[in-house]
Structure 1
Amino acid sequence: MNKTKHIYCWLIVSLLCSMTAICLSLFRIQPFSVSESAYIGIIVTLMGIIFTIFVGYQIYNIIDIKKELENFSLQKEQLKESVTKLSEYQTINEAYNFNNRGMLAVSMSKYYSAICLLLKSLESLLSSSLLGNHWADVDNLKNNIQYCFLKRQEFETPENDELYKLIINIMNYPKYNNLPDDLKQLLTEIKKNNSTLIHK
């Protein structure tokens, strides 16, 4: 709104200057005597003033646009940060969802399904930023995975490839090396014993 008012103000000034130049070119004010060259000088001067105002206004617009671009860049960074946080939240939420489904499978004595779901939960956590408060979740997952693995004699008919692929995917994450040694040892043991799972 303020920008529009500025435009109208400069337009009015320009029109007034133009009208003044026209009046001076048509009328001679007595007792002053102005030569033809003086009139031309006055008109050129007024046109120069108008041109200067116009150029100054364009410079002002360029500076204003530059500020708007800077604000846009800042908003873009903020939006990018918000999207990253939302993606992180969705990943963590997915990990908790897998964990809850895994524990439900444990309660139903479906230990193979449970261990697969718990491993998917661990995989989701590894794909996140793994903040400090998530390491407690990793420790709980380790205990639950270990419990299910001890129950491997009671596994329902497993699909060995699924379990094997999950372990391989987890081991390929860069953050795998940050996991506790006992959890890495457990995952290695599960991988080794994968081909010896008892089918029912």
Structure 2
Amino acid sequence: MDSGSARSRSEARPVLEAPDIARVLTRIAHEIVERAKGADDVVLLGIPTRGVHLARRLADKLADITGQPAAVGSLDITMYRDDLRLGPARTLARTEIPGDGVDGRLVVLVDDVLFSGRTIRAALDALGDIGRPRAVQLAVLVDRGHRELPIRADYVGKNLPTSLRETVKVQLAEEDGHDGVLLGEREDTGRDTTRPAQAGQ
């Protein structure tokens, strides 16, 4: 195999583009309103970094559907991660909870990619220290499988079956200048690739 073929095989390919992302977020927003029978007691909490941007976009769509402002904030999970002691020091994000809090309300956690489930487990721990929601749901842009914990998303933009040698990269205009989801191949670092990386979702 020549080097050109090897390069082309490892190039990331788009699986969602900007119109696709806008469309699936609109669908998820309608599904939230339908299941919650409105959005009066819904609180969207994005998991930094890209989950926060997705949560804000969903809040805008909920407002368009219901005609009322939607409660949206962010939930920093840094100190709740189970891999915190295994890696370098991490920069703390900010937790921002809407003024009415989360007690007795329906909290929808929002993230970009659902992978091992460890990020969401950390988010549930962080949320438990903040208040007692009536219920907690999960919305993700991409579910790539390979769960290590019994965690399931309630709202999924795209189910994307992957191998552990593949990577999923979400790009959003707020962070990257454009929207897209890319599927690529993990570089061979000589490490064990039979398990999801600890830093995975």
TM over 0.5: no
Higher CA-based Rg: 1
> Which structure dedicates a bigger proportion of its chain to strand?
2
Please, what TM-score do these two structures have when normalized by structure 1?
0.26
Higher relative contact order at CA 8 Å, sep ≥6: structure 1 or structure 2? Answer: 2
